[in-house]
Structure 1
Amino acid sequence: MSGTETAGAFEELYGRAPEGVWAAPGRVNLIGEHTDYNDGFVMPFALPHTTVAAVARRDDGVLRVHSADMPGGPVELRVADLAPGREDGWANYPAAVVWTLADAGHTIGGADIHIASTVPTGAGLSSSAALQVVVAMALNELYELGLERWRIARLCQRAENVYVGAPVGIMDQTASACCTDGHALFLDTRDLSQRQVPFDLAALGLRLLVVDTQVKHAHSDGEYGKRRAGCEQGAAELGVPALRDVPHEELPAALDRLTSAEVRRLVRHIVTENHRVERVIELLSAGDVRAIGPVLVAGHASLRDDFRISCPELDLVVDTALTAGALGARMTGGGFGGSAIVLVEDAAADTVAKAVEAAFDEAGFTAPRVFTAVPSAGARRLV
């Protein structure tokens, strides 16, 4: 839905024109999975799929939020009543942003918000981050809060951690807020330093496919939290602030010091995944984009075998794509479902996509959704 269409829907819903319309994208993570809450390295890029929000201020302390993608009318809340632990369904996400801004000392008098989104939900493409970032961007501008994009990302992470109760890292929010068109974002999640890395696959005759397995996942269901707690246990046992501080070359010795096989697996994934991000940076900087394929495959094996967050559908995508001639493939996102990415020569894209679709049909799985990922712009005002 365009900015003009969203503005029109807002006016029909609330009986007045919005003060503006903003968009924030979903993201694909090229490499660097579950490293963000370990102070590590990640490399996402923004998708053209966005969550769009038409917003106008209120001065009566009322927050009204409506989604074109959800049944029913606007959800009405009072800003003064917002608190972690509330159960307001999907409205928890925009409410969390308002609460977090207020908790940080910013005065938010209320708002009317209408939302429409093309970011697939539950697909590991950061639909929740896009929703929170677009609301935060709008309120930041309308209430003249003066927050930099990286700070908006940090506040949105806190909103999801504290208010929603999902222990996510900082990658998704930063990607949605800070990515630029035609680039992947190399992010150091410890100090939030950023580097925009050119990533124009089309110019090289390449394509990155996203395969949404249609298997839904939820970060707040406990498994994500268990992995994070295990990583924190590993860092504590090794006497480091975070697993990012374990050098790759010292990994074998570090693993010998850990007390459980489960924690060893988690630590091994994080340390090797940080190394894989650094390797991809080297290859992209040298212009050897095709060579990142095996690095993606190694990342999937680590997520499948060490972090244990893959599923049969994701494994089928990777195995089938590689057999059909893909240069590389791996699951992306939080895991337990969601999406995989596949790096292919442009000429082979249709063949690989059809092979994956046929494999899903033969296995009796729900048909996947396949589309091309184009590195796109981060959050922005549309109208």
Structure 2
Amino acid sequence: MKILMLSQYWYPENGVPQRRWTWLSKILVDAGHEVTVIAPPPHYQRKIELKRWWADRKARVPLEPEEGPSGERIIRSGFFPAGPSLTQRAINQATVALGAVWVAARKKGDLRGYKPDLIIGTVPALPTAAATRIVATIMRRPYLIDLRDAWPDLLQQSDQWNKGTGTTSLREKVLKRGPLQVVSVTTKIVLNDALRNAAGITVTSSHLADELQKRTALHTDGASPECVTIRNVFPPLSDRNVDLERTHDDGLNVLYAGTLGRAQNLSNALEAAKIAQDQGVAINLQFVGAGVAREQLTTKARELGVNASFERRYPAEEMGEFYDWADTALVHLTDWEPLSRAVPSKTYELMAQKVHISGVVAGEAAELILTHGAGDIVEPENPQALAELWMELATHPERLKINGDGPQWVRQQRESIAPERLLSLVERATNR
């Protein structure tokens, strides 16, 4: 079967969406399918000057397709550089989506005469859903949407998107008085249309899959698209199994490795560390990652006087020393209602490596941590509760020992359940 993928992010970038689809592409290729990808050149989380971007535009997109690590064929499309603001990111995502449609519609070069059996579009980047619908219509082929997170629900939280950054730009003040609402409503309508007409939808949370099945906005003749949960249990880049005894008495070492962004609002963790510190318990925080809230968090940590260090974003294969240092790892989301139907991918990695999780999460993520004995949870946006948990762990380090079935469960999801679900969905989508 010929499968055409549309994505905003792809190899050699090394983020969560990229690692997810490197893994899923290998499952498809190993099953005998031919995977072709339309994606822009690597530029995610890279600062690119507009002048240089314009000067390099011809050399940037290779004329010949590349071969990816899973045996997929990669055809590069155009893009406009991204920036830290929501407006800049929206422009980047829109231009990438248009670039994918342009490449697919022209059918020149390596796509001459190409007709896939199935098209798959990966979200986020929401414009990819619309691009997938357009390309599928042009090619008259069925399509799947890999929705991943709780969209379009998260659009309803747009007035809180910059709560975790500590700043409100002039652009945001102007746009939020009308234009932002118009864009949000339009995006929701377009996204629902793409989801409603899809042959199937994949998500990373079973709670989200159940919710989507119930939505009348996605129903056609009383039926909704099939929703399948394929969790972010892609293989780790190391085979480490951390199960170390705590060998220090200078407080509790807490690691956060991930996005320092809007949906996390990690200032809550800094406030918790301050509360514990005032009670005489040292909390040593280490943040490893990048995101729009990094500068605000660095400033707040300094103002509170807590022991917090901030490291750049490291490749997954270089995280071993941070896991060795940590007594517990923080999985942290803010209290937006749609996030109760989200499970941070870091949860699975920590479960697989037997690192104790301090979960500041609700909904499905909290259920998974407790069910599989992977750590402890507290409700989001309650620094007092988080401080009390950390003080308890510092006083009773035996609670940091992981004895649950998390590693076995993650392995089963990765090696058995996810491949079977993906391949079955692909077959059903093309036989409708």
Higher relative contact order (CA 8 A, sep 6+): 1
Indicate the structure with greater strand content: 1
Q: What TM-score comes out, normalization by structure 1 length?
A: 0.26
> Is the radius of gyration larger for structure 1 or structure 2?
2
Q: What TM-score comes out, normalization by structure 2 length?
A: 0.24
